[in-house]
Chains A and B, each alone.
Chain A
């Protein structure tokens, strides 16, 4: 009855059920918090089980309702889906822990938990979907929930930021739905495997249709994942959200749309089509622009959270760069970067959130000397910043190394140089924060460290950065298998 094969749908269903139960028990906050954390823990366990199963027996295909492929909806859990589920579930659980134990920043907490659970359910659905319309529905659920967890803060700036995010995200959804319509028109199926088989024959007959569909899909998913010219909503949205929301958004949500794009690329289009169309070159240029623009804009920021948000724009550029280079090591670097950037950015956002909650200071110019009052927090921020720059020994170095080596493998030396230049730019915008915090004069005597339960996720994430920096071999087979799916 409860065999491991049901685990994919059980992940989504557990999160959905908890999301519906939490508003019912909103009078009893302890029960709500317990359910919230319990659901996160169950999903982590299921993700680990799925990963072990996929490593052992290959791709799991789950037909919902016993209706299989061209008529029914399938969940296709291959190595990429298992890896992404693992990343999403573990990092989400750490963020849930922080949200439960940190001082509250929103008024209606039970609703906030329900929204975050819905967002997590949708993210798991996106990475496992095998049917393109199912993917679209999960993308919509996650977009709405992502906007809602920004707006729930209630301040003027957060409402305006979330409205702009909603409008642009709706444009992206419109584009994505239009591309799905065009693809349905030329293939007649909605299952990604069947669409790929059909495209092999009809792509030559309807080239204009396919090109338009791809253009709208890049724009649609590009707006949501903040690819360079379409990233306008991101700094305001991530900077004006509650702390847990910023960490969730920057660390996971943005990446999940890149994962959706990658899955559509290798499952629906097939990588041969990727080589024929000029999509690779366009994505390479946009990724390079994203890296440079994100870093340059981050240098001039004073508000710490806006700086981290612009840094996210640059890091998404890295993932697109790795994916578009299409050599084995570049793709592995991109997939590593999904995990490692999630760890680093979550650590940075949570630690900066702790600083803002404890001291009320939001700008770099205000935190001078604060490191003496909050040594553990600022040690974590320093480690996270060093990792984002790519200092050897930290996890960020591993992914940048793979990306640079992949660029050299492809013969495009300019991108390896670009990665080095962007590391230098990262140092330029991260080090003022650290230097001001450690070496400024101390002017705020009554700031202290947060409680132990709040410091725990920061410590765990820092240890993860060191662990992956020094011994990255634990997830290596999974990452290799994932990259093989893409590069073939």
Chain B
């Protein structure tokens, strides 16, 4: 079927979008802070997969100048993703430091309970 063939040629994009939605949804709905962080990483990884899949060319080799190779994949997305991975790692490291502090102050890793504790204090 034409639909299956379209799905097959765009399989990378499809998987990237599915992972993105999984990460996005988990970040918003799940209560455990560590799960939110992992979902953030999944979401970022999905976007990187999407980006790298954009640069792929059929039959292309890795973009390193080696004599005898004519067709390369697009190197620009790979360079962008290197930067993106570093950004994602920095976010995760900072968020983990905040989670450690949150646990020290509130004693729980559940965001609903943290809101409840803050609500009681404000009254």
Contact = CB atoms under 8 A, between A and B. Distances in A.
* Bound pair (A, B): yes
A352 to B, nearest CB: 19
Interface residues of A, number: 26
A145 to B, nearest CB: 10
Interface in A158-176: 159-160, 162-163, 166-167, 170-171, 173-174
Q: Is the interface of B mostly helix, strand, loop or mixed?
A: helix
Nearest to B99: A163
B62 interface: no
A160 B44 CA distance: 23
A166 B27 CA distance: 12
A148 interface: yes
B98 A171 contact: no
Interface of B: 20, 23-24, 27-28, 33, 36, 40, 43-44, 47, 50-51, 54, 76-77, 80, 83-84, 87, 90-91, 94-95, 98-99, 101-102, 105-106, 114, 118
A156 interface: yes
Contacts, number: 75
Contact of A170 (B40, B84, B114): B40
A135 interface: no
- Please report whether the interface of chain A is mostly helix, strand, loop or mixed according to DSSP: helix
A108 B1 CA distance: 63
B91 A170 contact: yes
Contact of A167 (B36, B77, B83, B90): B36
Nearest to A169: B91
B50 A181 contact: yes
Given A167-B27, A171-B24, A177-B84, A162 B47 contact: no
A163 B20 contact: no
Give me the 4 closest cross-chain CB pairs, A-B, nearest first: A156-B105, A140-B87, A163-B98, A181-B51
A192 B95 CA distance: 32
- Candidate in A148, A160, A163, A181 with the most chain B CB atoms within 10 angstroms: A181
B98 A162 contact: yes
Given A167-B27, A178-B20, A159 B98 contact: yes
A125 to B, nearest CB: 14
A181 B47 CA distance: 8
Contacts of A181: 47, 50-51, 54
Contacts of B105: 156, 159
A190 B79 CA distance: 12
B47 A174 contact: yes
Interface of A: 133, 137, 140, 144, 147-148, 151, 154, 156-157, 159-160, 162-163, 166-167, 170-171, 173-174, 177-178, 181, 184-185, 190
A217 B112 CA distance: 29
Contacts of A160: 102, 106, 114, 118
A332 to B, nearest CB: 35
Contacts of B33: 163
Given A160-B118, A178-B20, A190-B76, A137 B98 contact: no
